[in-house]
Every structure is written in C-alpha cells, then in structure tokens.
C-alpha cells in the first residue's frame, strides 16, 4: 500500500515512523533538523493521517510492508536508518525482523520489544470496539494525559492541542485496525539480539506508557545498542524535548557515516 509522506533534504536516508494514534506531523522538528545532511522521509502509517484506511486488523508486519513498498516506489535505496516511536517502533522492529538487510541503523524511541500481555491485548479489543461503536476517536484524546507529563501539559498548551488534534483526525476504522494489529505482535527482543546494525534507544524518564526497564532491555539485547534516557521527558520525546532528542539522533547518525 502506497503511503502519504513528507520528505526533506538530501543525503543518506532516514525514515521516521510515528506513534499511535498520531501522524507524520509529530516529526516536524526532526524533519527540519536532520534534513541538512540527510534525506528524511516521514510517512503516515496505514489508517493514520492522510494514508489509506482499509478495514483492519493491521498487523505490524503489514505496516512494515507498506513502508517498504512506499520507499521502493519513490526510489529510496536501502540501506537506510529507520526510527520509530512507540507503535512506530513496533513497525521498525517488524522491519528489522523481516527486512534486516535494508537497515543501516535503528532508532527506537519510547517503545518496547515485548508482546502485549493477555490483559493488554484484551483491553485493546475493548477500546477498538468502543471506537467503532462511537464512530469517533474522541475518547482516545484522554490518552493525552498519558502521552505528555503534567508539567509539560501546563507549560505547553500548543503541544497538547497538536497531539489532541492528531488523535481526533485519526479515523475510527484506522484506530480500531491498528489497536487490533498491535495486540497481535510477537515479542521481538530476539530480533535485536541478532541485529548487526547500531541501535539507538531513546527513552523518557517520565514515560507513563513504556517503563525504563523495557528501554534498557532493548539497548542491552542489541549487540551494538545504546540507551539515551532524557530526564523529565514523557512518551513523546521528539515533540516534548526536541533539543535533547535531536542531539541524540544527530550524534548517532554522525557516528554511522
């Protein structure tokens, strides 16, 4: 499936995959900062933003295949660096699993390699069914409190507004499809154990969704893994702390080239 994407700059390619239920606009700082030396591509994943929204569920492997198809169609030559936040990280790990030869490096932000517990998977089904029933993603805007810590919510009303707007604009069919798809994903810690390329893990010390131990486990599993913990940051490090996040990404990319 061909995805809608933003593209900036020239140079080695870096592909950035957004979280749930957001869109490619979450990467605006990185699109600007990285494009001095890189070709930066940020797609809307299936069911999000302006990309197609077929009926679900959307397994992470299908989202990964969409990204590959889109990159191939527009002539982005592998190997490239793939970075993903949270759900985008699940997709990046599916790419590392299915298409390891296409990767030059992996950036995993505010994400985890583990599968859902039975309880978490069941909870996703409850949320998917509710969204379908309501025909709206309005109920998902309550996630803002989990995505952004209180200090940043108070200090940055424009950030809260941007995140809530992305959530509201996500189609109910897309949100339900991806909730069910995330519930299907396998544990991919072993994929990291055998990955031959450098892996940068970025985490926020105040992330209410992904605990620090999950970030540490990924960095330790990858033979060429490293962890950057951003103090005070929540689940959306690229948006909430773009300075520290951009510096970590730039340093990682500089060492790759």
Q: How far apart are alpha carbons 95 and 106 in whole angstroms?
A: 10
If the CB atoms of residues 20 and 80 are measured against ligand MLT, the closer one turns out to be: 20
What is the x/- site pattern for ligand MLT, positions 164-193, by CB under 6 A? ------------------x-----------
Q: Taking the CA atoms of the chain, what radius of gyration do you get in angstroms?
A: 17
Q: Is 215 in the site for ligand MLT (CB under 6 A)?
A: no
Q: Is 209 in the site for ligand MLT (CB under 6 A)?
A: yes
Q: Which residues lie across from 204 on neighbouring strands?
A: 230
DSSP structural state of residue 176: H
Minimum Å distance from CB 231 to ligand MLT?
20
- The tokens describing 180, both together, are 């069910």
If the CB atoms of residues 19 and 49 are measured against ligand MLT, the closer one turns out to be: 19
Q: Is 252 in the site for ligand MLT (CB under 6 A)?
A: no
Q: Is 140 in the site for ligand MLT (CB under 6 A)?
A: no
Task: Decide: 105 and 81 in contact? Cβ < 8 Å.
Answer: yes
What SS3 class is residue 3?
coil
Q: How far apart are alpha carbons 110 and 212 in whole angstroms?
A: 9
What is the x/- site pattern for ligand MLT, positions 84-123, by CB under 6 A? --xx------------------------------------
Q: How far apart are alpha carbons 94 and 155 in whole angstroms?
A: 36
Q: Which residues lie across from 84 on neighbouring strands?
A: 17, 108
Q: Is 19 in the site for ligand MLT (CB under 6 A)?
A: yes
Angle between helices 60-73 and 172-183 in degrees, nearest 10: 120
If the CB atoms of residues 9 and 84 are measured against ligand MLT, the closer one turns out to be: 84
Residues, the chain: 257
If the CB atoms of residues 87 and 215 are measured against ligand MLT, the closer one turns out to be: 87
Q: How far apart are alpha carbons 228 and 232 in whole angstroms?
A: 13
Minimum Å distance from CB 49 to ligand MLT?
14
If the CB atoms of residues 87 and 148 are measured against ligand MLT, the closer one turns out to be: 87
Footprint (CB under 6 A) of ligand MLT, residues 67-86: 86
Task: Give the footprint of ligand MLT on this chain (CB under 6 A).
Answer: 19-20, 86-87, 182, 209
């Amino acid at each position: 499936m061909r995805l809608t994407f933003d593209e900036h700059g020239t140079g080695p390619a870096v592909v950035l995959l957004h979280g749930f239920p957001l869109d490619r606009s979450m990467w605006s700082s990185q699109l600007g900062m990285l494009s001095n030396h890189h070709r930066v591509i940020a797609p809307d994943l299936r069911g999000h933003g302006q990309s197609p929204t077929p009926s679900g569920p959307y397994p992470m492997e299908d989202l990964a295949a969409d990204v590959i198809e889109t990159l191939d169609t527009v002539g982005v030559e592998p190997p490239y660096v793939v970075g993903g936040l949270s759900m985008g990280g699940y997709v990046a790990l599916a790419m590392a699993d299915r298409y390891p030869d296409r990767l030059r490096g992996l950036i995993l932000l505010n994400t985890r390699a583990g599968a859902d517990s039975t309880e978490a998977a069941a909870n996703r089904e409850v949320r998917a069914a509710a969204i379908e029933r309501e025909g709206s993603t309005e109920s998902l805007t309550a996630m803002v409190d989990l995505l952004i810590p209180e200090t940043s919510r108070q200090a940055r009303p424009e950030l809260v507004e941007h995140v809530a707007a992305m959530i509201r604009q996500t189609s109910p069919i897309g949100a339900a499809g991806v909730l069910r798809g995330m519930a299907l994903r396998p544990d991919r810690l072993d994929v990291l154990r055998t990955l031959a390329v450098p892996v940068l893990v970025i985490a926020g010390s105040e992330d209410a969704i992904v605990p620090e131990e999950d970030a540490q486990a990924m960095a330790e599993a990858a033979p060429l893994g490293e962890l950057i913990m951003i103090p005070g940051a929540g689940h959306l490090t690229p948006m909430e702390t773009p300075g520290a996040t951009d510096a970590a990404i730039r340093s990682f990319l500089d060492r790759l080239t």
